[in-house]
């Protein structure tokens, strides 16, 4: 079994209901090479995958590496390098990382993700709002309850147009 997380691994569900993306391709190739069937276990965000490591829900997963996860999961070589960033709300005065690290700045991020932990470290003066996934963060941004969203550039870029936000 392979566990993909759409927000972290560039996995999408296409119109036919099939998953596709880097983790799907890698997981399928691994299963084929081992001669075993593959079953994909979807997760809303990568932060939800780690706790299931001890519950035998998945055998192989693809997720960002950080020191906290290294305590629970053995990692192989990198297959993709992420770039973390912030998606800033329209009209926000936040223009730089230093601006995001200010009292009063409100940053949302997906619970237990490496990128959200990195945001907490990079912007300790800000208020961090933990959400279940990107859609919840976008909803908070639209409601004016946060100033920016912390996640990988690829994940955030895919949210801009559907959410009616401007890059």
Distance in angstroms (rounded) separating the CA atoms of residues 25 and 27: 6
Summarize the confidence of residues 92-102 as an average pLDDT. 93
Stretch (H or E) spanning 106: strand 106-110
pLDDT tens digits, 112-133: 888 898 899 999 999 999 998 8
According to DSSP, the β-strands at 84-88 and 127-131 are unpaired
The residue range of the domain holding 48 is 2-70
Given 42, 70, 98, the domain boundary residue is 70
- The answer to whether residues 132 and 95 belong to one domain is yes
Q: Give the model's confidence band at 107: pLDDT under 50 very low, under 70 low, under 90 confident, else very high.
A: very high
Cα-Cα-Cα-Cα dihedral of 130, 136, 142, 146, to 10°? Answer: 0
62 lies in a domain? yes
123 lies in a domain? yes
78 lies in a domain? no
Given 30, 46, 70, the domain boundary residue is 70
165 lies in a domain? no
Could you give the C-alpha distances from 158 to 43, 82, 99, 130, 154, in angstroms and in order? 17, 14, 24, 20, 6
pLDDT of residue 62: 83
Answer yes or no: is pLDDT of 106 > 60: yes
Distance in angstroms (rounded) separating the CA atoms of residues 153 and 75: 22
- The answer to whether residues 89 and 59 belong to one domain is no
Strongest mean pLDDT among 58-67, 70-79, 117-126: 117-126
Distance in angstroms (rounded) separating the CA atoms of residues 100 and 78: 29
- The answer to whether residues 60 and 104 belong to one domain is no
- The answer to whether residues 10 and 48 belong to one domain is yes
- The answer to whether residues 63 and 90 belong to one domain is no
Contacts 24+ apart (CB under 8 A), 47-52: 47/110, 47/111, 47/112, 47/113, 47/116, 48/5, 48/111, 48/112, 49/3, 49/5, 50/112, 52/3
Stretch (H or E) spanning 160: helix 153-160
Which domain CATH number covers 7? Answer: 3.40.190.10
- The answer to whether residues 122 and 66 belong to one domain is no
Say how many domains are in the chain: 2
Q: Tell me the DSSP string of 26-80.
A: HHHHHHHHHT----B---SSGGGTGGGGGGTS-SEE-----HHHHTT------S-
């Amino acid at each position: 079994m392979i566990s993909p997380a759409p927000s972290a691994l560039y996995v999408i569900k296409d119109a036919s209901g099939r998953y596709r993306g880097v983790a799907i391709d890698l997981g399928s190739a691994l299963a084929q090479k081992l001669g075993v069937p593959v079953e994909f276990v979807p997760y809303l965000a990568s932060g939800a995958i780690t706790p299931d490591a001890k519950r035998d829900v998945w055998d192989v997963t693809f997720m960002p590496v950080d020191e906290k996860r290294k305590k629970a999961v053995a990692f192989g070589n990198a297959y993709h390098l992420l770039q973390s960033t912030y998606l800033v709300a329209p009209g926000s005065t936040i223009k730089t990382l230093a601006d995001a690290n200010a009292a009063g700045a409100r940053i949302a991020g997906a619970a237990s993700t490496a990128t959200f932990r990195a945001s907490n470290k990079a912007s300790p003066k800000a208020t961090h709002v933990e959400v279940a996934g990107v859609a919840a963060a976008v909803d908070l941004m639209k409601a004016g309850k946060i100033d920016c969203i912390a996640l990988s550039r690829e994940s955030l870029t895919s949210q801009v147009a559907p959410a009616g936000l401007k890059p």
